[in-house]
Every structure is written in C-alpha cells, then in structure tokens.
Amino acid sequence: MKKFFTQGRLAVLIVFVVLLIDQLIKICVKTNMLLYERIHITDWFYIYFTENNGMAFGMEIFAKLFLTLFRIVAVVLITGYLYKIVHHPVRIKTGYIVCLSLILAGAIGNIIDCVFYGEVFSASLPDQVASWVPVGSGYSEWLHGKVVDMFYFPIIDTFWPQWMPFVGGEHFVFFSPIFNFADAAISCGIIALLLFYSSYLNAASGTSVPQKDRS
C-alpha cells in the first residue's frame, strides 16, 4: 500500500498548519488589542502588538509595494522549487522538505497581511481596536497592508555601565525585535537549512541533484 504521508503531502500539511496558526494569532491580536498594548506573560516574554510596513522583525528597508511584490515572487519561486524536488526521481531528505515548507509558509503568512489586511480591517490605533469591515473600507489599499507582530522577548533588559564609552548609561535590551509566528517559521527553516543542509543548498545553486536520502 502506498504511503499516505508522501513528502508532497507533508509539505502541504506543514504550510497549512503554519498558516492556520499564524493567521489565528494575528486576527486574535488585531481584533482584541490596542496598537502598542502589552500583555505581560513573564519578565522576558510579552505579547506586544505592533504593525510594520517592512520585512521580518520590523525592519523597514524598501518601499511597501516593492516588498509585497518581492514576497510574492519569492513564494512563487520557492513553491516551484519545492514541487520540483518532491517529484524528483531521486528522493530528497525529508528534513530539507520540512525546512523549505516552513520558509514557504512563513512567507505566505506575511503576504496575506500585506495583500488583504488593509482592505478588510479598520486601522489599529493606540486608542482604538481594529475590527472587520466590508472589503474596500479598510485602512489601506490592496498590497499595502501592514504585517501584524506580537512576540517580544526582552531576555535582558538593563542599562550599560556608566564607565563604558559611547553607550554608558544607555538602555539595552536583548532580544529587542518584535515578530510573529510566520517570522519564526521562516527563521527556523533558514537556520536549520544552514546548519544541516548546506550541501543541498550548494546542489540547488548548480545543476546537480542532492544525494539520495537513505534514511
């Protein structure tokens, strides 16, 4: 009997589950919290609602429309590559498929915010919780929505010693970025790829096929 959980079905399942969790968290935060509101979980973990126009972890480098279109192109390319390797006659290691699926799911999760949220939600403000609105009545246009972030881990929150040059007495936080579940999926996928599947990445950049999975 043919195995039900093929690599292709596993990839689809991972993408679906990550997207479901990501969007449920974002919608729950956006429709129940004020912008910049914090919920104290522990001294090193907060639910801190923010929105950003840029890339992962709140970075803003390029124009919003460019970033959205770049994400969409990246998703198309990753999807095509993933489809190619799961149907390749040489079996690829399942862990490699999982990493790519996590990256793909995270990218799609943030694309959903950028493409749709501006059209279907009212604006989130420090004194106003966002709500669902009729399509076209939202706070922005198609492709110009803001990405919802909420996970904040100020593991170290202190001040630099006064005797230190340039930064003495200044506030220091580690880890300061605020991110979402999609960002976490992308980061985990990339880190695992670099640590465990660098040979696959080298093969993908050329014409050869990664070694056969004997596991």
Does 113 participate in catalysis according to the annotation?
no
4-16 burial, b at 16+ Cβ within 10 Å, e below that, comes to eeebeeebeebbe
- Residues whose CB falls within 8 Å of the CB of residue 189, separated by 6 or more in sequence, listed in order: 98, 99, 100, 101, 102, 103, 106
Alpha helix stretches (DSSP H) within the chain: 7-30, 64-86, 94-112, 118-120, 181-196, 198-204
Q: What single letter denotes the amino acid at residue 60? A: E
Residue of 43, 113, 183, 213 marked catalytic = 183
Instruction: Please answer whether residues 100 and 176 qualify as being in contact, where contact means their C-beta atoms are separated by less than 8 angstroms.
Output: no
Does 213 participate in catalysis according to the annotation?
no
Give the Cα separation of 105 and 183 in Å (integer).
Answer: 10
Q: Which residue has the tokens 């991972």?
A: 14
Residue of 127, 149, 157, 213 marked catalytic = 149
Give the Cα separation of 49 and 26 in Å (integer).
Answer: 9
Q: What single letter denotes the amino acid at residue 7? A: Q
- Residues whose CB falls within 8 Å of the CB of residue 195, separated by 6 or more in sequence, listed in order: none
Which residues carry out catalysis? 149, 183
